[in-house]
Structure 1
Amino acid sequence: MCPNTASTGCHWDGSPRSARPRRPLRVAAASPSRLLRAGQSGNCRHCGHRVDLYQRADQRPIALHPAEVATAHVPETCRWHLSNGIAHPHGDSSGWCRIPHAVLCPHRTHTARIGPHLEAVRRRLAVRTRRLIDTGAFTPAPPAPDAPPADRGRPVVQMLLGRYLAEQAVEGIRCVAQTRHRHRCPHPILAPGTPAGSWRLLPVGPRRGRPTSPEKTMAVYDLGHLPHGEQRRWRLQRCPAHAVSPEAADLALAGWQVFDPLRHAAHIHTRLPHRASCRPGKR
């Protein structure tokens, strides 16, 4: 007797199979953010709770609490609302709003009063964090030193008339677009066959209104001589293949940070790197 292995539309007991159709994740063409909803969630490395990552109007990321809160329980300075995938730091005249995760994170010490309702939410999150730690399901990240060795290799990149601090070495910056298999693109943005930048010693720049000191220079990976479209591709953090595919959404936020000489003083280097070019394959 041979078992029947033919594929049928019913289960072994005769009940019909119900397969849900797979719906592709897409981003509206009018949305200023290209980030998919699947790429906007994460976990806080200090407390282990879920956070939703959104871009602000200045393209900087912000971590928001995943649940909406009644506006009456939230101070005006902590109210945020979402519009077309962009987070805005004020209310939208509705009865509900979003709040930054930093307001409720048990790892942080708050001196300002946030109200009894938010204090109760914060205590519940603290109890859950302690439970996750006790059961071994979560391990808080150790406090970062002033200048971690892993962060010393983060270069400063100049493009689109501005300077940005990269998340890692130029050769390792990875494309943030989604592939056809719904995974993040593995290709780097510094690809063979595309024009590369050049390392230069440029003035550090003013520090909070102070004039620029011409004798103080820093190593900068300059992309300013590239065409505008190429600089925009770097700013969007996309490989050449996905730069010409605007319909492809993003699965992660671009890792650029607006460079501040005061906040990012640990990443200022006065000497050029050993390799004069970041072109793959050259020494």
Structure 2
Amino acid sequence: MTVTSTRRTSSGKAAERTASPESLPPFYASKEKQRELRIQSAHLSPALIISQPTSFDEYVRQLMVPASVMDLANKASDIRFSAWEIEAIRMELELKPRKGLLRKILEEKINDDDSHPPYIRVACTGKGKYDSMARKHYGLLPDGDHADAGSPAVLEIWPAQHYSPMHSHGGTTGIIYCLTGQIDVMAYEELRWGATELGLLTLTPGQCAWLAADKFGVHKVYCPMDGGSKPVGPWNLLNETSDYAATFHVYLNEEETVPDTYVPAELGTRDVFEYVHEIEHDRRKFATYSDLSWHVLRRVLAKNSST
């Protein structure tokens, strides 16, 4: 079976693409291969997933997860969205009857980068690129400066069927904690197009994946929920639904996990990540920033959920 779709090249031109479903994004792997990778991930040691173990084997594999990672996961384990926050975020992703703030930001991001379907980064502290747009459109008064955009903790909102490029996190140690919805995480051996896959797993609320400079440091993230009737990919960068997943991410530089330790500069920082371009397949650098700050987004959510 093959499918024909229209994709946009990096030059912005449309091009017809005929491909088998087994070679389509986000993972460019057949369903059989993905099943094999899910089984493979269940045998990784240390475990890629952190959750409540249900067997001796799971317990032992999670026991091998670094203590600094387990500390981050334990501290995040009680973070929750309230029911009204979950629904209010959904409203801001809607296309109709009114276009929500988050949908508008997704459209803006496509104008800046049309290589992959966008997702939204929300700084838990600090500020966001689109804070001023949110204040203007929703009549919010300025509420003071909230430092810079280099937050170690971010909320990421993943519209259904949207995904990240393959990327690394500047040699940091961190977690990806699922708050709502479902998220798929594919871990890779190295940052290179066509790199060997280490494992594929699905996170549900309360579960966590992790990364470090020397383990699971390269991955791709994808929301497998219902995105509507049209496939999402480089040829169609925005879904048709308001379904989404949300994840809480923490990235600590090496000196923050081991205080008072000399850290060589080449180990990197959370301020600059690297990724593989989805169309050109080359490695590029990404100076990290957030699209919104949590204090602005939450004010928008509260304002619109009460109207």
TM-score (norm 1): 0.20
Q: Give the helix-richer structure, 1 or 2.
A: 2
Larger radius of gyration: 1
TM-score (norm 2): 0.19
